[in-house]
Structure 1
Amino acid sequence: MLFDSHAHINFEKYSDSDRKQLIEEINDSNVSYVMDVGFDLASSLQAVKNANENEWCYAVVGIHPHEVLDIDEMEISLIEGLAKKDKVQAIGEIGLDYHYMYSPKDDQQKWFREQIRLANKLKMPIVIHSREAAKDTMDILIEEGAFSDERKAWFPKRTLSDGSQVDDARVLLHCYSGGVEQGLEYIKLGGTLSMAGPLTYKNNKKGVEVAKQIPIEYLLVETDAPYLTPEPFRGKPNKSPYVEHTARRMAVIKGMDYEEVARITCENAKTFFNIR
Protein backbone atom coordinates (compact mmCIF):
# COMPACT_ATOMS: atom_id res chain seq x y z
CA MET A 1 0.00 0.00 0.00
CA LEU A 2 1.53 3.30 -1.13
CA PHE A 3 0.39 6.90 -0.78
CA ASP A 4 1.75 9.46 -3.24
CA SER A 5 1.30 12.52 -1.07
CA HIS A 6 1.97 15.08 -3.82
CA ALA A 7 1.42 14.77 -7.58
CA HIS A 8 0.03 16.78 -10.45
CA ILE A 9 -2.44 14.66 -12.37
CA ASN A 10 -3.83 18.14 -13.09
CA PHE A 11 -0.65 19.10 -15.03
CA GLU A 12 -1.76 21.68 -17.59
CA LYS A 13 0.27 20.20 -20.46
CA TYR A 14 -1.45 16.80 -20.24
CA SER A 15 -3.91 16.13 -23.04
CA ASP A 16 -7.10 14.30 -22.12
CA SER A 17 -5.59 11.10 -23.52
CA ASP A 18 -2.36 11.64 -21.54
CA ARG A 19 -4.34 12.04 -18.33
CA LYS A 20 -6.53 9.03 -19.10
CA GLN A 21 -3.47 6.86 -19.69
CA LEU A 22 -1.84 8.07 -16.47
CA ILE A 23 -4.99 7.31 -14.49
CA GLU A 24 -5.10 3.81 -15.99
CA GLU A 25 -1.48 3.24 -14.94
CA ILE A 26 -2.28 4.33 -11.39
CA ASN A 27 -5.32 2.05 -11.36
CA ASP A 28 -3.08 -0.88 -12.31
CA SER A 29 -0.34 -0.05 -9.78
CA ASN A 30 0.16 -0.68 -6.07
CA VAL A 31 -0.55 2.97 -5.27
CA SER A 32 -3.63 3.23 -3.06
CA TYR A 33 -3.92 7.02 -2.71
CA VAL A 34 -2.75 10.09 -4.62
CA MET A 35 -3.03 13.73 -3.59
CA ASP A 36 -3.60 15.84 -6.73
CA VAL A 37 -2.20 19.23 -5.77
CA GLY A 38 -3.34 22.53 -7.24
CA PHE A 39 -0.94 25.32 -8.17
CA ASP A 40 -3.43 27.87 -9.55
CA LEU A 41 -7.19 28.18 -9.90
CA ALA A 42 -7.46 26.10 -13.09
CA SER A 43 -5.32 23.25 -11.74
CA SER A 44 -7.22 23.32 -8.46
CA LEU A 45 -10.48 22.93 -10.39
CA GLN A 46 -8.95 20.03 -12.33
CA ALA A 47 -7.74 18.40 -9.10
CA VAL A 48 -11.26 18.51 -7.68
CA LYS A 49 -12.60 16.97 -10.89
CA ASN A 50 -9.97 14.22 -10.81
CA ALA A 51 -10.78 13.49 -7.16
CA ASN A 52 -14.49 13.21 -7.92
CA GLU A 53 -13.85 10.77 -10.76
CA ASN A 54 -11.27 8.48 -9.11
CA GLU A 55 -11.74 6.75 -5.77
CA TRP A 56 -8.02 6.82 -4.90
CA CYS A 57 -7.59 10.52 -5.74
CA TYR A 58 -7.95 13.45 -3.33
CA ALA A 59 -7.43 17.16 -3.98
CA VAL A 60 -5.40 20.01 -2.52
CA VAL A 61 -6.30 23.53 -3.69
CA GLY A 62 -4.30 26.74 -3.66
CA ILE A 63 -2.05 29.18 -5.52
CA HIS A 64 1.67 28.39 -5.96
CA PRO A 65 4.11 31.30 -5.44
CA HIS A 66 4.96 31.26 -9.16
CA GLU A 67 1.32 32.12 -9.92
CA VAL A 68 0.52 34.97 -7.52
CA LEU A 69 1.61 37.95 -9.66
CA ASP A 70 -1.84 38.74 -11.05
CA ILE A 71 -4.25 37.23 -8.53
CA ASP A 72 -6.68 39.09 -6.29
CA GLU A 73 -9.03 38.49 -3.38
CA MET A 74 -11.68 37.10 -5.75
CA GLU A 75 -9.35 34.26 -6.72
CA ILE A 76 -8.72 33.45 -3.06
CA SER A 77 -12.49 33.46 -2.53
CA LEU A 78 -12.86 30.94 -5.37
CA ILE A 79 -10.15 28.76 -3.79
CA GLU A 80 -12.10 28.93 -0.54
CA GLY A 81 -15.19 27.69 -2.35
CA LEU A 82 -13.26 24.77 -3.82
CA ALA A 83 -11.75 23.96 -0.43
CA LYS A 84 -15.23 23.25 0.93
CA LYS A 85 -15.97 20.60 -1.69
CA ASP A 86 -15.94 16.86 -1.08
CA LYS A 87 -12.51 15.15 -1.13
CA VAL A 88 -10.58 18.42 -0.86
CA GLN A 89 -8.25 17.78 2.05
CA ALA A 90 -5.80 20.72 2.32
CA ILE A 91 -4.75 24.18 1.15
CA GLY A 92 -1.69 24.12 -1.11
CA GLU A 93 0.68 24.17 -2.59
CA ILE A 94 1.44 27.58 -1.15
CA GLY A 95 4.64 29.23 -0.03
CA LEU A 96 7.71 31.03 -1.33
CA ASP A 97 10.06 30.41 -4.25
CA TYR A 98 13.08 32.72 -4.45
CA HIS A 99 14.86 30.59 -7.06
CA TYR A 100 12.97 31.58 -10.21
CA MET A 101 11.32 34.73 -8.80
CA TYR A 102 8.41 34.61 -11.25
CA SER A 103 6.58 36.79 -8.72
CA PRO A 104 8.14 39.55 -6.56
CA LYS A 105 8.92 38.67 -2.94
CA ASP A 106 6.31 41.09 -1.60
CA ASP A 107 3.57 39.50 -3.69
CA GLN A 108 4.67 35.98 -2.76
CA GLN A 109 4.68 36.81 0.94
CA LYS A 110 1.32 38.61 0.82
CA TRP A 111 -0.53 35.73 -0.81
CA PHE A 112 1.29 33.12 1.25
CA ARG A 113 -0.02 34.86 4.36
CA GLU A 114 -3.52 35.14 2.88
CA GLN A 115 -3.66 31.42 2.15
CA ILE A 116 -2.33 30.43 5.58
CA ARG A 117 -5.13 32.55 7.02
CA LEU A 118 -7.59 30.75 4.76
CA ALA A 119 -6.34 27.36 5.96
CA ASN A 120 -6.68 28.52 9.56
CA LYS A 121 -10.18 29.85 8.89
CA LEU A 122 -11.22 26.50 7.44
CA LYS A 123 -9.17 24.46 9.95
CA MET A 124 -7.45 22.59 7.12
CA PRO A 125 -3.97 21.09 6.65
CA ILE A 126 -1.41 23.17 4.72
CA VAL A 127 0.96 21.97 1.98
CA ILE A 128 4.06 24.16 1.65
CA HIS A 129 6.32 24.87 -1.32
CA SER A 130 9.60 26.47 -0.19
CA ARG A 131 12.66 26.95 -2.39
CA GLU A 132 15.64 29.07 -1.39
CA ALA A 133 13.35 30.81 1.11
CA ALA A 134 13.82 28.76 4.27
CA LYS A 135 13.91 31.55 6.85
CA ASP A 136 11.06 33.60 5.40
CA THR A 137 8.92 30.48 5.01
CA MET A 138 9.31 29.46 8.63
CA ASP A 139 8.99 33.03 9.94
CA ILE A 140 5.72 33.61 8.07
CA LEU A 141 4.28 30.24 9.12
CA ILE A 142 5.01 31.09 12.75
CA GLU A 143 3.76 34.69 12.48
CA GLU A 144 0.48 33.56 10.89
CA GLY A 145 -0.23 30.95 13.55
CA ALA A 146 0.40 27.83 11.48
CA PHE A 147 2.10 26.25 14.50
CA SER A 148 -0.03 27.89 17.18
CA ASP A 149 -1.48 25.97 20.09
CA GLU A 150 -4.95 26.94 18.87
CA ARG A 151 -4.32 25.34 15.48
CA LYS A 152 -2.78 22.20 17.01
CA ALA A 153 -5.89 21.78 19.15
CA TRP A 154 -7.98 21.31 15.98
CA PHE A 155 -6.20 18.09 15.01
CA PRO A 156 -5.63 14.72 16.73
CA LYS A 157 -2.21 14.26 18.26
CA ARG A 158 0.54 12.37 16.43
CA THR A 159 1.31 8.93 17.90
CA LEU A 160 5.01 8.04 18.02
CA SER A 161 6.56 4.57 17.86
CA ASP A 162 6.89 4.40 21.66
CA GLY A 163 3.18 5.07 22.06
CA SER A 164 3.59 8.66 23.24
CA GLN A 165 1.61 11.45 21.62
CA VAL A 166 2.70 14.91 20.46
CA ASP A 167 0.92 17.91 18.96
CA ASP A 168 0.42 17.99 15.19
CA ALA A 169 -0.07 21.30 13.34
CA ARG A 170 -0.82 19.59 9.99
CA VAL A 171 1.78 21.63 8.09
CA LEU A 172 3.58 19.66 5.36
CA LEU A 173 6.90 20.71 3.84
CA HIS A 174 6.48 19.12 0.42
CA CYS A 175 9.56 17.82 -1.40
CA TYR A 176 11.67 18.75 1.60
CA SER A 177 15.17 19.82 0.56
CA GLY A 178 16.44 21.46 3.74
CA GLY A 179 18.92 20.02 6.20
CA VAL A 180 18.52 17.91 9.32
CA GLU A 181 18.66 20.85 11.74
CA GLN A 182 15.85 22.70 9.98
CA GLY A 183 13.86 19.48 9.65
CA LEU A 184 14.13 18.83 13.37
CA GLU A 185 12.98 22.38 14.05
CA TYR A 186 9.92 21.86 11.84
CA ILE A 187 8.88 18.61 13.47
CA LYS A 188 9.39 20.13 16.93
CA LEU A 189 6.92 22.85 15.89
CA GLY A 190 4.43 20.18 14.78
CA GLY A 191 5.30 19.92 11.09
CA THR A 192 5.64 16.98 8.70
CA LEU A 193 8.22 16.43 5.93
CA SER A 194 7.73 14.72 2.57
CA MET A 195 10.57 13.13 0.59
CA ALA A 196 10.52 12.86 -3.20
CA GLY A 197 12.55 11.38 -6.06
CA PRO A 198 15.79 13.24 -5.26
CA LEU A 199 16.20 10.91 -2.27
CA THR A 200 17.24 8.26 -4.82
CA TYR A 201 19.94 10.44 -6.41
CA LYS A 202 23.49 9.27 -5.82
CA ASN A 203 24.89 12.62 -4.64
CA ASN A 204 21.99 13.69 -2.43
CA LYS A 205 23.82 13.28 0.87
CA LYS A 206 21.73 15.93 2.62
CA GLY A 207 18.51 14.12 1.76
CA VAL A 208 19.93 10.82 2.99
CA GLU A 209 20.79 12.40 6.35
CA VAL A 210 17.28 13.83 6.66
CA ALA A 211 15.69 10.46 5.90
CA LYS A 212 18.04 8.79 8.37
CA GLN A 213 17.60 11.18 11.29
CA ILE A 214 13.98 12.33 11.07
CA PRO A 215 11.71 9.74 12.74
CA ILE A 216 9.49 7.96 10.25
CA GLU A 217 6.36 9.12 12.09
CA TYR A 218 7.06 12.58 10.63
CA LEU A 219 7.74 11.48 7.04
CA LEU A 220 5.67 11.03 3.89
CA VAL A 221 6.73 10.01 0.37
CA GLU A 222 5.72 11.71 -2.87
CA THR A 223 6.53 12.01 -6.56
CA ASP A 224 5.76 15.66 -7.39
CA ALA A 225 4.93 14.09 -10.77
CA PRO A 226 5.60 14.88 -13.55
CA TYR A 227 8.72 16.43 -11.98
CA LEU A 228 11.68 15.05 -9.95
CA THR A 229 11.65 11.54 -11.38
CA PRO A 230 13.49 9.02 -9.18
CA GLU A 231 16.22 6.67 -10.28
CA PRO A 232 16.19 4.50 -12.37
CA PHE A 233 13.77 6.58 -14.48
CA ARG A 234 15.47 9.96 -14.05
CA GLY A 235 15.19 12.00 -17.24
CA LYS A 236 11.70 10.71 -18.03
CA PRO A 237 8.37 12.21 -16.90
CA ASN A 238 7.54 11.18 -13.36
CA LYS A 239 4.29 9.43 -12.39
CA SER A 240 2.68 8.24 -9.18
CA PRO A 241 3.65 4.53 -9.46
CA TYR A 242 7.30 5.63 -9.24
CA VAL A 243 6.76 6.66 -5.61
CA GLU A 244 7.69 3.06 -4.80
CA HIS A 245 11.33 3.83 -5.63
CA THR A 246 11.47 6.65 -3.09
CA ALA A 247 9.88 4.44 -0.44
CA ARG A 248 12.35 1.64 -1.20
CA ARG A 249 15.28 4.04 -0.90
CA MET A 250 13.94 5.33 2.41
CA ALA A 251 13.70 1.75 3.66
CA VAL A 252 17.35 1.10 2.79
CA ILE A 253 18.47 4.32 4.49
CA LYS A 254 16.50 3.56 7.65
CA GLY A 255 17.33 -0.15 7.72
CA MET A 256 13.65 -1.06 7.60
CA ASP A 257 11.57 -3.43 5.49
CA TYR A 258 10.12 -1.75 2.42
CA GLU A 259 6.63 -3.00 3.27
CA GLU A 260 6.86 -1.36 6.70
CA VAL A 261 7.98 1.97 5.24
CA ALA A 262 5.16 1.83 2.68
CA ARG A 263 2.60 1.04 5.39
CA ILE A 264 3.77 3.68 7.86
CA THR A 265 4.12 6.50 5.34
CA CYS A 266 0.70 5.62 3.95
CA GLU A 267 -0.85 5.77 7.41
CA ASN A 268 1.00 9.03 8.13
CA ALA A 269 -0.44 10.58 4.96
CA LYS A 270 -3.96 9.31 5.67
CA THR A 271 -3.75 10.88 9.11
CA PHE A 272 -2.28 14.14 7.83
CA PHE A 273 -4.95 14.56 5.15
CA ASN A 274 -7.77 13.21 7.35
CA ILE A 275 -8.61 10.31 5.05
CA ARG A 276 -10.45 7.47 6.73
Structure 2
Amino acid sequence: MTVWIDTHCHLDAPEFDPDRDAVRAQARAQGVAHCVIPAVECSNWATVRGLAHRHGDSYALGIHPLYTGRAHDADLELLAQELEQHRADQRLVAIGEIGLDYFVPGLDPARQEQFYRAQLQLARRFDLPVILHVRRSSDKLLKGLRELPVQGGIAHAFNGSVQQAQAFIALGFKLGFGGAMTYDRALQLRRLAAELPAEALVVETDAPDIPPHWLYATAAQRLEGLPQGRNAPGELPRIASALAELRSQPLEDLAGITCANALVALPRLQALVSV
Protein backbone atom coordinates (compact mmCIF):
# COMPACT_ATOMS: atom_id res chain seq x y z
CA MET A 1 0.00 0.00 0.00
CA THR A 2 1.15 3.54 -0.79
CA VAL A 3 2.23 5.35 2.40
CA TRP A 4 1.39 8.99 3.10
CA ILE A 5 2.15 11.60 5.77
CA ASP A 6 -0.55 14.18 6.46
CA THR A 7 1.61 17.10 7.55
CA HIS A 8 -1.32 19.16 8.87
CA CYS A 9 -4.38 17.63 10.51
CA HIS A 10 -6.42 19.13 13.37
CA LEU A 11 -7.54 15.77 14.70
CA ASP A 12 -8.48 17.42 18.00
CA ALA A 13 -11.18 19.57 16.36
CA PRO A 14 -14.72 19.24 17.77
CA GLU A 15 -15.97 18.04 14.37
CA PHE A 16 -14.25 14.75 15.15
CA ASP A 17 -15.68 14.33 18.66
CA PRO A 18 -18.30 11.72 17.59
CA ASP A 19 -15.86 9.36 15.82
CA ARG A 20 -12.25 10.51 16.23
CA ASP A 21 -10.72 7.05 16.64
CA ALA A 22 -12.66 5.71 13.68
CA VAL A 23 -11.54 8.66 11.53
CA ARG A 24 -7.90 7.97 12.35
CA ALA A 25 -8.34 4.22 11.76
CA GLN A 26 -9.96 4.85 8.40
CA ALA A 27 -7.11 7.14 7.38
CA ARG A 28 -4.58 4.48 8.35
CA ALA A 29 -6.48 1.94 6.26
CA GLN A 30 -6.18 4.38 3.33
CA GLY A 31 -2.39 4.47 3.75
CA VAL A 32 -2.05 7.60 5.91
CA ALA A 33 0.66 6.23 8.15
CA HIS A 34 1.26 9.43 10.09
CA CYS A 35 -0.49 12.70 10.95
CA VAL A 36 1.09 15.86 12.31
CA ILE A 37 -1.37 17.49 14.71
CA PRO A 38 -0.69 21.22 15.29
CA ALA A 39 -2.04 23.14 18.25
CA VAL A 40 -3.82 26.49 18.01
CA GLU A 41 -3.84 27.79 21.60
CA CYS A 42 -2.75 26.82 25.10
CA SER A 43 -6.06 25.11 25.90
CA ASN A 44 -5.41 22.34 23.37
CA TRP A 45 -1.70 21.67 23.92
CA ALA A 46 -2.35 18.68 26.19
CA THR A 47 -5.03 17.41 23.82
CA VAL A 48 -2.83 17.33 20.71
CA ARG A 49 -0.01 15.73 22.69
CA GLY A 50 -2.35 13.06 24.00
CA LEU A 51 -3.75 12.32 20.54
CA ALA A 52 -0.28 12.04 19.03
CA HIS A 53 0.75 9.47 21.62
CA ARG A 54 -2.55 7.63 21.40
CA HIS A 55 -2.41 7.17 17.63
CA GLY A 56 1.33 6.99 17.04
CA ASP A 57 1.35 10.41 15.39
CA SER A 58 3.21 13.65 16.18
CA TYR A 59 2.26 17.15 17.31
CA ALA A 60 3.31 20.80 17.31
CA LEU A 61 2.75 23.39 20.02
CA GLY A 62 2.00 27.03 19.38
CA ILE A 63 -0.48 29.89 19.27
CA HIS A 64 -2.33 30.35 15.98
CA PRO A 65 -2.71 33.92 14.67
CA LEU A 66 -6.50 33.65 14.71
CA TYR A 67 -6.31 33.05 18.47
CA THR A 68 -3.97 35.90 19.35
CA GLY A 69 -6.91 38.15 20.15
CA ARG A 70 -7.94 36.02 23.10
CA ALA A 71 -4.46 34.84 24.05
CA HIS A 72 -2.64 36.42 26.98
CA ASP A 73 0.93 37.65 26.81
CA ALA A 74 1.67 35.18 29.61
CA ASP A 75 0.74 32.34 27.24
CA LEU A 76 4.09 32.81 25.54
CA GLU A 77 5.88 32.02 28.79
CA LEU A 78 3.54 29.06 29.30
CA LEU A 79 4.52 27.87 25.83
CA ALA A 80 8.20 28.14 26.74
CA GLN A 81 7.56 26.11 29.88
CA GLU A 82 5.62 23.49 27.92
CA LEU A 83 8.40 23.19 25.34
CA GLU A 84 10.98 22.83 28.09
CA GLN A 85 8.94 20.21 29.93
CA HIS A 86 8.42 18.10 26.80
CA ARG A 87 11.62 18.82 24.89
CA ALA A 88 12.65 15.14 25.10
CA ASP A 89 9.35 13.97 23.62
CA GLN A 90 10.20 12.77 20.11
CA ARG A 91 6.56 13.23 19.07
CA LEU A 92 6.92 16.99 19.59
CA VAL A 93 8.19 17.85 16.10
CA ALA A 94 7.63 21.59 15.64
CA ILE A 95 6.32 24.88 16.94
CA GLY A 96 2.97 25.56 15.33
CA GLU A 97 0.63 26.49 14.13
CA ILE A 98 2.00 30.02 14.11
CA GLY A 99 2.07 32.84 11.59
CA LEU A 100 0.07 35.80 10.32
CA ASP A 101 -3.41 36.15 8.84
CA TYR A 102 -4.25 39.33 6.95
CA PHE A 103 -7.48 37.96 5.48
CA VAL A 104 -9.81 37.51 8.46
CA PRO A 105 -11.21 40.90 9.56
CA GLY A 106 -10.94 42.17 13.11
CA LEU A 107 -7.49 40.82 13.94
CA ASP A 108 -4.81 43.14 15.31
CA PRO A 109 -1.80 42.91 12.95
CA ALA A 110 0.62 44.21 15.57
CA ARG A 111 -0.49 41.63 18.12
CA GLN A 112 -0.23 38.86 15.55
CA GLU A 113 3.30 39.94 14.73
CA GLN A 114 4.22 40.10 18.42
CA PHE A 115 3.18 36.47 18.90
CA TYR A 116 4.75 35.38 15.61
CA ARG A 117 8.14 36.86 16.41
CA ALA A 118 8.09 35.61 19.99
CA GLN A 119 7.39 32.08 18.76
CA LEU A 120 10.19 32.30 16.20
CA GLN A 121 12.45 33.12 19.13
CA LEU A 122 11.21 30.00 20.90
CA ALA A 123 11.87 27.92 17.79
CA ARG A 124 15.45 29.20 17.85
CA ARG A 125 15.79 28.54 21.58
CA PHE A 126 14.50 24.96 21.34
CA ASP A 127 15.97 24.24 17.90
CA LEU A 128 12.64 23.25 16.37
CA PRO A 129 11.17 23.89 12.93
CA VAL A 130 7.93 25.84 12.59
CA ILE A 131 4.59 25.17 10.92
CA LEU A 132 3.41 28.44 9.41
CA HIS A 133 -0.09 29.77 8.80
CA VAL A 134 0.27 31.82 5.60
CA ARG A 135 -2.75 33.87 4.57
CA ARG A 136 -2.08 37.01 2.54
CA SER A 137 1.01 37.39 4.71
CA SER A 138 3.91 35.76 2.87
CA ASP A 139 6.11 38.85 2.63
CA LYS A 140 5.73 39.75 6.30
CA LEU A 141 6.38 36.14 7.35
CA LEU A 142 9.49 36.03 5.19
CA LYS A 143 10.74 39.28 6.73
CA GLY A 144 10.42 37.73 10.18
CA LEU A 145 12.23 34.57 9.09
CA ARG A 146 15.12 36.57 7.64
CA GLU A 147 15.46 38.56 10.86
CA LEU A 148 14.97 35.54 13.14
CA PRO A 149 16.18 32.51 11.16
CA VAL A 150 14.91 29.09 12.20
CA GLN A 151 15.80 25.61 11.02
CA GLY A 152 12.97 25.60 8.48
CA GLY A 153 9.63 23.86 8.55
CA ILE A 154 6.44 23.95 6.51
CA ALA A 155 4.50 26.83 4.96
CA HIS A 156 1.08 25.28 5.43
CA ALA A 157 -1.66 25.72 2.79
CA PHE A 158 0.68 27.81 0.69
CA ASN A 159 -1.06 30.02 -1.88
CA GLY A 160 1.41 32.76 -2.72
CA SER A 161 3.39 33.70 -5.79
CA VAL A 162 6.22 31.81 -7.46
CA GLN A 163 8.67 34.35 -6.08
CA GLN A 164 7.33 33.94 -2.54
CA ALA A 165 7.45 30.17 -2.90
CA GLN A 166 11.07 30.36 -3.98
CA ALA A 167 11.86 32.61 -1.02
CA PHE A 168 10.37 30.12 1.48
CA ILE A 169 12.24 27.27 -0.20
CA ALA A 170 15.49 29.22 0.00
CA LEU A 171 14.96 29.54 3.76
CA GLY A 172 14.62 25.77 4.15
CA PHE A 173 10.84 25.43 4.03
CA LYS A 174 8.62 22.89 2.34
CA LEU A 175 5.24 24.04 0.98
CA GLY A 176 2.01 22.32 2.01
CA PHE A 177 -0.61 21.51 -0.66
CA GLY A 178 -4.07 20.22 0.15
CA GLY A 179 -7.72 20.42 -0.73
CA ALA A 180 -7.65 23.95 -2.19
CA MET A 181 -5.57 22.62 -5.07
CA THR A 182 -8.40 20.29 -6.17
CA TYR A 183 -10.61 23.14 -7.44
CA ASP A 184 -10.40 23.84 -11.17
CA ARG A 185 -10.80 27.57 -10.55
CA ALA A 186 -7.64 27.69 -8.36
CA LEU A 187 -5.53 28.39 -11.44
CA GLN A 188 -2.49 29.99 -9.81
CA LEU A 189 -2.34 27.40 -7.03
CA ARG A 190 -2.63 24.53 -9.50
CA ARG A 191 0.10 26.05 -11.63
CA LEU A 192 2.35 26.26 -8.59
CA ALA A 193 1.56 22.67 -7.65
CA ALA A 194 2.46 21.55 -11.16
CA GLU A 195 5.65 23.54 -11.60
CA LEU A 196 7.43 23.79 -8.24
CA PRO A 197 10.34 21.39 -7.70
CA ALA A 198 9.26 18.06 -6.26
CA GLU A 199 11.63 18.42 -3.31
CA ALA A 200 9.66 21.47 -2.13
CA LEU A 201 6.28 19.74 -1.69
CA VAL A 202 4.46 18.10 1.20
CA VAL A 203 0.81 17.05 1.28
CA GLU A 204 -1.79 17.83 3.92
CA THR A 205 -5.51 17.89 4.58
CA ASP A 206 -5.91 20.62 7.24
CA ALA A 207 -8.83 18.44 8.31
CA PRO A 208 -11.56 19.20 9.15
CA ASP A 209 -10.96 22.45 7.23
CA ILE A 210 -10.25 23.18 3.52
CA PRO A 211 -12.47 20.42 2.10
CA PRO A 212 -11.51 19.19 -1.37
CA HIS A 213 -13.96 19.94 -4.15
CA TRP A 214 -15.81 16.62 -3.84
CA LEU A 215 -16.80 17.48 -0.26
CA TYR A 216 -17.67 21.14 -0.79
CA ALA A 217 -21.30 22.27 -0.67
CA THR A 218 -22.11 25.64 -2.22
CA ALA A 219 -24.09 28.27 -0.33
CA ALA A 220 -27.14 27.42 -2.44
CA GLN A 221 -26.77 23.72 -1.66
CA ARG A 222 -26.45 24.44 2.03
CA LEU A 223 -29.63 26.52 1.92
CA GLU A 224 -31.36 23.49 0.44
CA GLY A 225 -30.20 21.43 3.40
CA LEU A 226 -27.09 19.75 2.03
CA PRO A 227 -24.48 19.74 4.82
CA GLN A 228 -20.94 20.90 4.24
CA GLY A 229 -18.69 17.89 3.84
CA ARG A 230 -16.20 17.23 6.62
CA ASN A 231 -12.61 16.93 5.52
CA ALA A 232 -10.67 14.09 7.14
CA PRO A 233 -7.14 12.65 6.97
CA GLY A 234 -8.48 9.72 4.97
CA GLU A 235 -9.01 12.13 2.06
CA LEU A 236 -5.26 12.63 1.68
CA PRO A 237 -4.62 9.93 -0.95
CA ARG A 238 -7.32 11.34 -3.22
CA ILE A 239 -6.00 14.90 -2.71
CA ALA A 240 -2.53 13.64 -3.52
CA SER A 241 -3.88 11.96 -6.65
CA ALA A 242 -4.98 15.40 -7.87
CA LEU A 243 -1.46 16.68 -7.27
CA ALA A 244 0.07 13.73 -9.10
CA GLU A 245 -2.25 14.34 -12.04
CA LEU A 246 -1.29 18.02 -12.18
CA ARG A 247 2.38 17.06 -12.20
CA SER A 248 1.97 14.09 -14.60
CA GLN A 249 3.76 12.05 -11.95
CA PRO A 250 3.17 8.46 -10.79
CA LEU A 251 1.30 8.43 -7.50
CA GLU A 252 3.80 6.07 -5.85
CA ASP A 253 6.66 8.41 -6.76
CA LEU A 254 4.83 11.40 -5.34
CA ALA A 255 4.14 9.53 -2.10
CA GLY A 256 7.81 8.68 -1.66
CA ILE A 257 9.00 12.19 -2.45
CA THR A 258 6.48 14.00 -0.23
CA CYS A 259 7.13 11.66 2.69
CA ALA A 260 10.88 12.17 2.34
CA ASN A 261 10.29 15.93 2.20
CA ALA A 262 8.23 15.80 5.39
CA LEU A 263 11.10 14.05 7.16
CA VAL A 264 13.47 16.79 6.02
CA ALA A 265 11.09 19.58 7.11
CA LEU A 266 10.37 17.98 10.49
CA PRO A 267 13.51 15.99 11.35
CA ARG A 268 12.07 14.32 14.46
CA LEU A 269 9.71 12.42 12.17
CA GLN A 270 12.68 10.34 11.06
CA ALA A 271 12.51 8.37 14.31
CA LEU A 272 8.74 7.90 14.01
CA VAL A 273 8.03 7.08 10.36
CA SER A 274 9.43 4.44 8.04
CA VAL A 275 9.14 5.35 4.35
Q: Same fold (TM over 0.5)?
A: yes
For structure 2, which runs of at least 5 residues remain unmatched after alignment? 218-228, 271-275
Aligned to 1:77: 77
Q: What CA deviation, in whole Å up to 9, does each residue of 1:59-102 have, x standing for no partner?
A: 01100011112333432232234335221100011011111144
Deviation at 1:249, TM superposition (A): 1.4
Which of 159, 168, 181 aligns to 1:177? It is: 159
Structure 2 match to 1:125: 129
Tell me how far apart the structure 2 counterparts of residues 97 and 186 of structure 1 sit (CA, whole Å): 17
2-structure distance, mates of 1:185, 1:111:
22
Question: What is the total number of aligned residue pairs between the two structures?
Answer: 252
Equivalence for 2:225 = none
> What corresponds to 2:251 in structure 1?
258
Whole-angstrom distance in 2 between the partners of 1:100 and 1:210: 24
Task: Please give the residue correspondences for 1:119-198 in structure 2 after superposition, counting only pairs within 5 Å.
Answer: 119-146=123-150, 169-198=151-180
The answer (yes or no) to whether the contact 1:199–1:207 under 8 Å persists in 2 is yes
Distance 1:38 1:79 in 2: 11
Matched residues in 2 for 1:121 and 1:129: separation? 20
Identity in percent: 25
Q: Deviations over 1:144-203 (max 9, x none)?
A: 223xxxxxxxxxxxxxxxxxxxxxx42311000112221112212322111111111111
Cα distance in 1 for residues equivalent to 2:81 and 2:59:
13
Relative to 1, partners in 2 of residues 1:192 and 1:94: Cα closer, same or farther, differing over 3 Å? Answer: same
> C-alpha separation between the residues in 2 aligned to 1:21 and 1:191?
32
Conservation of the 8 A alpha-carbon contact between 1:176 and 1:193:
yes
- Structure 2 counterpart of 1:201: 183
TM-score, normalised on structure 2? 0.86
Structure 1 runs not aligned, ≥5 long? 147-168
Q: Which amino acid aligns with 1:144?
A: L
Q: Using the TM superposition, give the Cα deviation of residue 13 of structure 1 relative to its aligned residue in structure 2, in angstroms.
A: 4.6
* Equivalence for 2:23: 22
Report the TM-score when normalising by structure 1: 0.86
Match of 1:108 in 2: 112
CA distance in structure 1 between the partners assigned to 2:167 and 2:144 by the alignment: 15
Bigger helix share: 2
Structure possessing the higher relative contact order (Cα contacts under 8 Å, 6 or more residues apart): 2
2:223 is aligned with 1:222: no
Call closer, same or farther: CA 1:231–1:98 in 2, change over 3 Å: same
- Partner of residue 10, structure 2: 8
8 Å CA contact 2:142, 2:167 repeated in 1: no
